[in-house]
Amino acid sequence: MTKDNNNVEKAKDEKEKDKDMESTEKMTLEDCKKIIEEKEKELNETKEKMLRIAAEFENFKKRITREKEEYMKYALEEFSKELLPFLDNLERALQTAKETPDIDKIIEGLELTLNGYFSTLEKFGLKQFVAEGKKFDPNFHEALGVEEHDGVEENTVVKELLKGYTLHERVLRPALVVVSKKPKSN
């Protein structure tokens, strides 16, 4: 009987082990389901956050584009206001020229207007540069012709046909020039 008792005991132990394993397996499956549900919830929250961030970014891009367009539209407002007095002066000079034959006063008024105009342009970074007498530089000069000159170093600007301008150190318009070359030997 002791063998039978041992066998019965073993069978009981095995049944209990099987029950424990089943409950452990069930517990693990339930735990896995809970973990999966939690992860799905986190994933959905992350998706929602991402969609909100994407929408905020789109709104930001639209706002920046709108602000840029607004800025570009009125960027020259201050510059334009500064130029208006010169238009007024030119209109007065034209009226004076029609009414008075005094050329000296007209010339003086035009010179004052032109000087004021250039100083206003310089205030905004626009400057004219002198080309004549300088070494030819294709970054600042555009050669329209070449002339033979004795006593002048070759590739020197000998005539400035149209002035050149820079805007904040960048060439806005190169000077149109005539460049020297050595005379041909006879």
Confidence of residue 149 (pLDDT cuts 50, 70, 90): confident
Q: Residues 69, 2: one domain?
A: yes
Number of domains the chain is built from: 3
Q: Residues 62, 80: one domain?
A: no
User: Rounded to two decimals, what is the model's pTM?
Assistant: 0.59
- Number of H helices and E strands in the chain, helices first, is 3, 6
Q: Which two tokens stand for residue 70?
A: 């607004």
Strands 170-173 and 164-167: antiparallel
Q: Residues 97, 159: one domain?
A: no
- In tens, the pLDDT along 83-137 reads 899 889 888 888 888 888 788 888 888 898 889 999 999 998 999 999 999 999 9
Q: Residues 83, 69: one domain?
A: no
Among 48, 74, 100, the domain boundary falls at 74
Looking at residue 20, what is its pLDDT?
Answer: 58
186 has pLDDT over 60:
no
Looking at residue 19, what is its pLDDT?
Answer: 62
Q: Residues 96, 134: one domain?
A: no
What phi and psi values does residue 181 have, to the nearest 5 degrees? Answer: -140, 160
Cα 71-114-168 angle, rounded to 5 deg: 40
Q: Which two tokens stand for residue 63?
A: 């706002």
Q: Residues 100, 137: one domain?
A: no
The domain that holds 175 is classified in CATH as 2.30.22.10
Q: Residues 139, 163: one domain?
A: yes
- Residue 178 CA to residue 180 CA, distance in Å, equals 7
* Full residue range of the structural domain in which residue 1 is found: 1-74
Q: Residues 53, 18: one domain?
A: yes
Contacts of 154 (CB under 8 A, 6+ apart): 180, 181, 182
